[in-house]
Amino acid sequence: MSGIEQIRPIVWTIAGSDSGGGAGIQADLLTMHDLGVHGCSAITANTAQNTLGVPAINVVADGVLQSQLDALSADLKPSAIKIGLLANVAQVRLVANFLRELESRGEAVPVVYDPVAVATSGAQLTEDSTGAAVMNELLPLCDLITPNSIELAWLAGGVADCAESILAAARKIRDGYKSALLVTGGHGEIEPGTTADLLCTGSGERIREHWLIGKKIETRDTHGTGCTLSSAIAALLALGYPLKDACVVANAYVRRGLRLGNTGHIGTGAGPVGHCGWPTELRDYPEVLIAGSERARSYGIFDISAAASFAAEFAQPDTTRLGLYPVVDTVEWIEKLAEEGVRTLQLRIKHARDDLREQIERAVAIGRRYDLRLFINDHWQLAIECGAYGVHLGQEDLHTADLKAIQAAGLKLGISTHGFFELLYAWQYRPSYLAIGAIYATTTKDMSGQLQGPQKLALMAALLPDYPLVAIGGINLQRAPDVTASGVGSIAVVTAITDAPDYRQAVAQLRAVIE
């Protein structure tokens, strides 16, 4: 491989073959191809299957499985691995050993394990005794496991058939393992007419639980949804998506496949889910439940203190296209840029200063004089007290700021997001605008690990074509055309203006591109 650049990342699926072409290896390879990675397979069992059931599970010999893994690792190095059906304890051990070897050679990659124990048809696919081996040997090597609620109960012991018992079973697994958990909810309805997946990430004190909720899609063709979901996540991880983003995009990919299906039914039973390309429509994406919302009561995560300050539906700006949006740290800059005809501005004061209130009061007064859309970063109480046009908050501020008070005062609200998950999360607040960043590397703020790039920006912007969106981070005159091509109506910049040799010229040139 040396010297040859791989254009498409490689993803392996270690799973069972479905002779009916709807689930297992077949669904995995369709998904991987659809999402732009090259799929390789190591087959654990040749199941005899159709859309009606599973007449036989023909488990491959250990040597057959091992030889496939060895052949792949000699040539086709993976960027992520998806594991599906492991038919017995010996296969669990073999795969676990193989993963440990990869780790010891410094070749570890993200591993997504879909513990395929029961097919959608109800057929049992793995020996009962594999549960303990999975827990002891495989889970410690996985980054994410994606059980359905039946498989969750199988792994954790007990039942997992309502929000509280699913949360309890998930916590039991999370207590012992580093792996994140995505419990798929296609088999039950916590709220009538909806499906809900539980995403658990982090560990110890920082464990995070999110319900991803979608309208139930009425279709007969649900075969292979679990395989499709887990291989989509592996593909997205290989493409460099962070775990939570990979989970929500994969959820949308499956929901799109359920909604659009195949052209005509395949088979006489539960046909395969469709594989219909990148999910470009918001309606396929899940809602991310917010713990302060009333709805969270049904899902066992209602937080009374979060509810005290939770609000949604903020005042909308007069336009969805906010144009050039300089972010500056002094009142003097606000005035100079207002003079140049800039309409959207942010005062972002990061250093403690005694005259903060006075600065904000002065900025607000200039804002009124020039009819600016002036947002105050961070200092939401002072923004309310001084009667500012709006406030800009980061994700972490959403848990501490009094959003009810901001809304009641009639202030506009902008929220920072970094990727698909945060975009969907912030969307639940229906803010006045959503900012997406950092698009490029920037020296203004440490955004390492949060770079989006213009292509991903365009994929996110496509979800909210009529909503005020702002792109920020490392944007300058040269990059601005690629950013505006994504469809966002506003570009926020710091250094492209404040460090420009001639800020007036920079404003004029940037406005010419953006507005």
Residues 6+ apart with CB under 8 A from 15: 24, 25, 28, 41, 42, 43, 44, 82, 83, 84, 85, 114, 116, 227
If one asks whether residue 328 binds ligand TZP (CB under 6 A), the answer comes out as no
Considering only 496, 506, 507, 514, the residue that binds ligand TZP (CB under 6 A) is 496
Query: Of residues 23, 92, 324, 470, which one binds ligand LCLJCK34 by CB under 6 A?
Result: 470
Residue 489 tokens, joined: 């109506």
For 226-290, the DSSP string reads: HHHHHHHHHHHHHTT--HHHHHHHHHHHHHHHHHH--SS--SSSSPBPP--SS---GGGSPEE--
For ligand TZP, give the closer residue by CB, 8 or 445.
445
Q: Which does 444 bind (CB under 5 to 8 A by kind): ligand TZP, Mg ion, ligand LCLJCK34, none?
A: ligand TZP
Per rule CB under 6 A, is residue 348 in the interface with ligand LCLJCK34? yes
Integer Cα distance of 157 and 118 in angstroms: 15
In the list 36, 140, 242, 394, the residue contacting ligand LCLJCK34 (rule: CB under 6 A) is: 394
Q: Which does 9 bind (CB under 5 to 8 A by kind): Mg ion, ligand TZP, ligand LCLJCK34, none?
A: none
- 3-class state of residue 108 by DSSP: coil
| 472 belongs to the binding site for ligand LCLJCK34 (CB under 6 A) | yes
Stretch that binds ligand TZP, among 137-145, 169-177, 315-323, 493-501 (CB under 6 A): 493-501
> Dihedrals φ, ψ of 40, to 5°?
-120, 155
Based on the shown chain and the rule CB under 6 A, indicate whether residue 472 belongs to the binding site for ligand TZP.
yes
Cβ pair 231, 39 in contact under 8 A: yes
Which amino acid, one-letter code, is at 322? L
Nearest 5 degrees, angle CA 51-CA 54-CA 58?
135
Q: Does 327 bind ligand LCLJCK34 (CB under 6 A)?
A: yes
Of 259-267, 383-391, 477-485, 492-500: span binding ligand TZP (CB under 6 A): 492-500
- 178 labelled ligand-binding: no
Compute CA 469 distance to the chain's CA centroid, rounded to the nearest angstrom.
Answer: 18
- Taking the complex as a whole, the smallest distance from the CB of residue 492 to ligand LCLJCK34 amounts, in Å, to 4
Binding segment for ligand LCLJCK34 among 47-55, 111-119, 270-278, 387-395 (CB under 6 A)?
387-395
Residue 416 found at the interface with ligand LCLJCK34 (CB under 6 A): yes
The position carrying tokens 């902008």 is: 414
Residue 253 burial (10 A CB sphere; 0-12, 13-18, 19+): buried
Tell me whether residue 124 or residue 443 sits nearer to Mg ion (CB atom): 443
For residue 459, which of 112, 35, 72, 77 has the smallest C-alpha distance?
35
- Partner whose binding site includes residue 346, from ligand LCLJCK34, Mg ion, ligand TZP, none (CB under 5 to 8 Å by kind): ligand LCLJCK34
Pick what 479 binds: ligand LCLJCK34, Mg ion, ligand TZP, none; C-beta below 5 to 8 Å, kind-dependent. none
88 is in an annotated binding site: no
Q: What residue 335 binds from ligand TZP, ligand LCLJCK34, Mg ion, none (CB within 5 to 8 A, per partner kind)?
A: none
- CA pair distance 251, 286, nearest whole angstrom: 7
The answer to the question of residue 474 lying near ligand TZP (CB under 6 A) is yes
Question: In degrees to the nearest 10, what's the CA dihedral of 17, 111, 197, 467?
Answer: -110
Query: Alpha-carbon distance 255 to 262, whole Å?
Result: 13
CB-neighbour burial class of residue 351 (10 A; exposed 0-12, middle 13-18, buried 19+): exposed
Task: Please tell me whether residue 69 binds ligand TZP under the rule CB under 6 A.
Answer: no
Q: Which does residue 169 bind out of Mg ion, ligand LCLJCK34, ligand TZP, none, counting CB within 5 to 8 angstroms by kind?
A: none
Residue 215 or residue 445: which is nearer to ligand LCLJCK34 going by CB?
445
CB 216 within 8 A of CB 195: yes
CA atoms within 13 A on the CB side of 259: 18
Q: Enumerate residues 6+ apart whose C-beta is below 8 A from 156.
A: 169, 170, 172, 173
Is 349 annotated to bind a ligand? Reply is yes
Residues 441-460 that bind ligand TZP (CB under 6 A): 442, 444-445, 447
**Tokens found for residue 410:** 């009639």
Does position 323 interact with ligand LCLJCK34 (CB under 6 A)? The reply is no
> Which residues, in sequence order, are bridge partners of residue 12?
40, 81
Stretch 431-450 residues interacting with ligand LCLJCK34 (CB under 6 A): 435, 437, 445
Which of 81/436 has CB closer to ligand TZP? 436
Annotated binding residues for Mg(2+)? 378, 397
What residue ranges bind ligand LCLJCK34 (CB under 6 A)?
A: 325, 327, 346, 348, 377-378, 392-394, 414, 416, 435, 437, 445, 470, 472, 492
Q: Residues within the annotated binding site? A: 346-350, 377-378, 397, 416, 442-445, 474, 494-495
Binding residues vs ligand TZP (CB under 6 A): 327, 437-438, 442, 444-445, 447, 472-475, 493-496
